[in-house]
Amino acid sequence: MKERIDALLADIESLACKTEKEIEEARVRLLGKKGEITRLFEEFRTVAPEMKREYGQKLNQLKNAAAAKIESLKNAVEENVSASSASFDLTKPGEPFPLGSRHPVSIVREEIIGIFRKFGYNVAEGPEIEDDWHVFEALNFPPEHPARDMQDTFFVTSGHNPILLRTHTSSVQVRAMESMPLPIRIVCPGRVFRNEAISARAHCIFHQVEGLYIDENVTFADLKQAILLFAREMFGSDARIRMRPSYFPFTEPSAEVDVSCNICHGKGCNICKGTGWLEILGCGMVDPNVLEASGIDSKKYSGFAFGMGVERIAMLKWQVKDLRNYFENDLRFLREFETSI
C-alpha cells in the first residue's frame, strides 16, 4: 500500500492537463467514486490497527495533494482561456494604420486632371521610352532642326528614328492623333526627361500635363477660354491670364501663358519678381503639318494644344523655391502635405 501511495503522489506531481476535460478525467480517475484514492481509503479499513496512524496520515496527504493539484490545474486553464480570448476581442477597434501622405506632385497632377475632366477631357498615357518620330518628327521637328536643341535629349539608340526618353508628353498626343477617332479631347500626364544640370530651377526628370483638342472649327478663342477657365479653377476665381507670343515647332501661332500672381495679386512680389505675373504654360493652335503627319485632314479639322510642368504649378501653389525638394523624398518636406490627402 505504501508503494502505491508513493507512486500516486509522484503521478499527481507530474500531472499535466491542458483542457478542462482532461482535468475532470484526472479527477475522476483519482478522487471519483471508483477512483484510485477512494479505493485506497476502502482498503484502509483492512489495515492492521498499529499501522493505521501512519497510513491514515499518508492517505490524507495524498488526497489533499490530488485536490490541490486539480484546483491549481483548473486555475491555470481558466487564466489561459481568459488571456487568449482577450487577444481575440473581435469588437476591439483596429490598430490605426500609418498611411503616409500623397506626394505634392501627385496632388497637383490630380488637381489639374480633375479640372480638365470637368471640361470633358479624357486622360491618355503613353510610353516614357519613345522613338524620334513621336517625340520630334511627327511634331514638325525635321532632322537637324535647331528647335531640337530646345530640349536636350537622352538618347537610348542612335541612327534612323532613334529610341530616346521622351522630352515632353506631346508624344502621347501624336499617338492619340494616330489612333483615336475624332474629335479628340485629351490630357496627357506623365514623366519627361531632359539632359539638364540639376539645380534649384531645373531637373533632368519632371512631370507634365499636356492637353489636345481637335475638332471642326476649333479656334484660338476656344484655346484662350479653356486656359482662362483652367487658371480660375486652379488659382482662384479672380485669376487673370495674359498671352505672350512664343514659338513651338508644333503649334502656330504659339503663346506662353502667364497667370496673375496669386501671392501679391498683381502688386509685385519676389515670387513674381515684381511683375505681377507668373508663367504657367505653353500653348498654341496645332500646326497643320502636325495634323497631316498623323493622317488628319487639316482642311476639315483644327485644334489646340497646351502643356505645363506639374512641379512648376506646385511651386507656385506652395511657394517651394527649390525643385530638388520634389525628388529627394525628405520626410520633413513630404509631411508638410499630410493634410492635403
Tell me which residues touch ligand PHE (CB under 6 A).
Answer: 168, 170, 210, 248, 251, 282-284, 305-307
The CA–CA distances, whole Å, from 133 to 139, 142, 161, 281, 303 equal 8, 10, 6, 24, 20
Report which residue's Cβ sits closest to ligand PHE: 307
- Give which of 252, 286, 279, 254 is closest to 170, Cα–Cα: 286
25 assigned binding-site residue:
no
- For residue 199, the minimal CB distance to ligand PHE (Å) is 18
Backbone angles phi, psi at 14, to 5 degrees: -95, 10
CA–CA separation, 329 vs 140, rounded Å?
A: 37
Cβ proximity to ligand PHE: between 70 and 227 the closer is: 227
Based on the number of CB atoms within 10 Å of its own CB, is 178 exposed (0-12), middle (13-18) or buried (19 or more)?
Answer: middle
Cβ proximity to ligand PHE: between 36 and 252 the closer is: 252
Cβ proximity to ligand PHE: between 190 and 307 the closer is: 307
Cβ proximity to ligand PHE: between 140 and 170 the closer is: 170
State the residue for C-alpha cell 490630357. Answer: 187
- Give which of 314, 131, 289, 284 is closest to 213, Cα–Cα: 284
Cβ proximity to ligand PHE: between 276 and 309 the closer is: 309
- For residue 264, the minimal CB distance to ligand PHE (Å) is 27
- For residue 306, the minimal CB distance to ligand PHE (Å) is 5
- For residue 166, the minimal CB distance to ligand PHE (Å) is 10
Record the cell numbers describing residue 241, joined without a space: 491670364
Record the cell numbers describing residue 304, joined without a space: 489646340
Strands 277-286 and 205-216: unpaired
- For residue 93, the minimal CB distance to ligand PHE (Å) is 49
Q: Which residues are annotated as a binding site for Mg(2+)?
A: 252
Q: Which residues are annotated as a binding site?
A: 252
